[in-house]
Structure 1
Amino acid sequence: MPLYAELAAKPDVKYIAGGATQNSIRVAQWMLQEPNMTAYIGCIGSDKFGAALTDACKQDGVLAKYMVDASAPTGTCAVTILDKERSLTTNLSAANNYKVSHLQQAENLAVLEGAKVVYSAGFFITVSPESMEVASQAMLKSGGAYCMNLSAPFIVQVPPFRAVLEKLLPACDYLFGNETEAQAYAEAVGWDTTDVEFIAIRLSLVPMAGNKPNRKVVITQGAEPTIVAIKGKVTKYPVNQLSKEQLVDTNGAGDAFVGGFLAALIKGKDVAASCKAGSYAASIVIQHSGCTYPAKPDYTI
């Protein structure tokens, strides 16, 4: 890809471990500060970038259970920043090759079934919806929380992808997204509204599977309050405010919010405390390049 070669030739290029779900899990682990409280399952290539991701997880205390596909390079994403706003160019490669058979291996299934919380980004719908089905059903059986993210407008705009999302929704305890993604969903299903609170309410009222409690729909709005809909009722939670001078890079802010939220959830905290933890994590990450952070958080869950 010409852009990658051009960026790699620049003297100030930075290489940072990433990937939407992996960002969230690494941030959750950072917030928890207890080794192997989190695990990540995905697909990498047998190359230097795969080794970099493995090392990043090890250093962060994340238990990484990668499927390695030697036939494809590790997925990469070129991030260019102008006026502190990001533009992404992604080459999924090996990340697009994950197979449910890897998840069904005994050691990986044990990690899944032993989890209190499982999180899947909506992006994974394009890769292995079968794996998301296995994960959601495992949480349905164990009573753990299954969490998903809308991730991007195209996930809800493309009918086959939206169909997978809607199939998984009854087993979903926590649904994350931002206002743009929520509005894209409403448009795609013909709700004829851009009211984010109304959309969150309707998503929260989709019937749950089995004996699961009510779904929590969590919609972030950048610097505006986070919207949470539960049982048809909306509550707004403030986010940490930063000056323009403090902002470095918004890349990874949404992933970081989810990571902080999940860390609090793992600790048994309520939605208010989880939103507060998510806001803190996001506020730290946007003061750094990419989804990076200091050695330890100045925050106790």
Structure 2
Amino acid sequence: MSYDRALFGICNPLLDISANVSLDLVTKYGAAFGSAIMADDKQQPVYDEIVKNYDVEYTAGGATQNVFRVYQWLMQTSTPAATFLGCVGNDEYGKTLKKNAEKDGLHIEYQVDEKAPTGTCAVLVVGKERSLIANLGAANNYSKEHFHSEKVQELFKKANFYYFSGFFVTVQPEVMVEVGKHAAETNKIYSLNLSAPFVIQFFKDQLTAALPYTDYLFGNEDEAKVFAASNGWETSDVAEIAAKASLLEKANDKRKRTVVFTQGPHSVCVGYDGKVEQYPVQKIDSDLIVDTNGAGDSFCGGFLAGLVQGKDIKECVRAAIYTSSTVIQHSGCTFPEKPDFKFN
């Protein structure tokens, strides 16, 4: 079976600038471990500061791009099984991002902004914990005109699976809804990740607009609890929240919504039709864990690889646990040359 560009998504391509820093620096810029925030005026100096004072490493990043890279890695197809879009600057950072993403097997259709620089993300590492401060730059300028171009529309309509991170609600929420409507009308699969507590708290209306089209909703335990609070649910039980979220209004009545919430080393909660199943996560020796930051994105990448191949939920979760447990044993969202995994 051909999986040629079966998966399609748009988000914020960012160049990660990683450095091992002091805890004081994380505190200075108001960052938090295990979470991502958007840089404000106070936080803009962090990029120059880490480049000037620390040994830094540059890698291709951005939440959805990382999901797609892991998905492509597990798919192991000779041709791209996914198309990824976003906006970059006309600079060396943008060229580096495209080169690295294509090296990982993706089909890339970046919009190039002639004025704004390529987006960056400061990855502040303290021990095994990471905190992210993103400066969208050109990524914030992705346009409807690019999405509606003939070439992109051809790729968009060719795909059968769509995935968005919640971060894109800060850029083009109307495009997210447009893709969702197409998915519902054509009975294709639309997936959405809550991505971060601030997305739920400060962009609730934009996120809510995309939810009715969402067949698969992803998030972690912190995001689940904030999501529950935003809906006025008086519970912090992740399993219960997954079950409730599965019953929210849905545009395509041909399939029920599946809600997948991770809980770090604890069980994965999958809500469906108001019920919930829990899947245990394999324990990894703490000495083997290098970087937990890529766990969520890599989990989604593995899950989508199973979903695109028509696997059941149990198998999708098994793949997701494999990819996330593999990536956290590496620095950043990176992985071995070949996966040691086979779908049943």
Name the TM tier (shorter chain). over 0.9
Q: Which residue of 2 aligns with 1:18?
A: 61
Deviations 1:114-149 (A, max 9, x none): 112100000101110011012112211222100001
For 1:258, which of 300, 304, 316 is the aligned residue?
A: 300
For 1:8, which of 41, 48, 51 is the aligned residue?
A: 51
Distance 1:31 1:142 in 2: 27
Partner-residue secondary structure (3-state), 2:59: coil
More helix by share: 1
Q: Which residue of 2 aligns with 1:62?
A: 106
TM-score normalised to the size of structure 2? 0.84
Deviations 1:42-85 (A, max 9, x none): 11111111111101121111001111112111111111111201
Give the aligned residue type for 1:138.
H
Please list every run of 5 or more consecutive structure 2 residues that lacks an aligned counterpart in the other structure.
1-43
Paired residues in the alignment total 299
Q: Which residue of 1 aligns with 2:249?
A: 207
Partner-residue secondary structure (3-state), 2:219: strand
Deviations 1:8-54 (A, max 9, x none): 23564211110000000011001001121111011111111111110
Deviations 1:203-237 (A, max 9, x none): 10013213330000000001111100000110011
Partner-residue secondary structure (3-state), 1:17: strand
Partner-residue secondary structure (3-state), 2:290: coil
Q: Which residue of 1 aligns with 2:336?
A: 294
Work out whether 1:99 is the aligned partner of 2:143: yes
Partner-residue secondary structure (3-state), 2:81: coil
Distance 1:210 1:296 in 2: 37
Distance 2:49 2:198 in 1: 28
Distance 1:254 1:204 in 2: 20
CA contact (8 A) 1:45 1:94 kept: yes
Distance 1:244 1:12 in 2: 25
Q: Which residue of 2 aligns with 1:197?
A: 239
Percent identity for Structure 1 against Structure 2: 46
Aligned alpha-carbon RMSD (Å): 1.3
CA contact (8 A) 1:99 1:131 kept: no
Distance 2:133 2:209 in 1: 29
Distance 2:198 2:46 in 1: 23
For 1:163, which of 171, 185, 205 is the aligned residue?
A: 205
Partner-residue secondary structure (3-state), 1:276: helix
Q: Which residue of 1 aligns with 2:84?
A: 40
Partner-residue secondary structure (3-state), 1:192: coil
Give the aligned residue type for 1:55.
K
Q: Which residue of 2 aligns with 1:180?
A: 222
Q: CA deviation at 1:163?
A: 1.6
Distance 2:59 2:182 in 1: 32
Please list every run of 5 or more consecutive structure 1 residues that lacks an aligned counterpart in the other structure.
none
TM-score normalised to the size of structure 1? 0.96
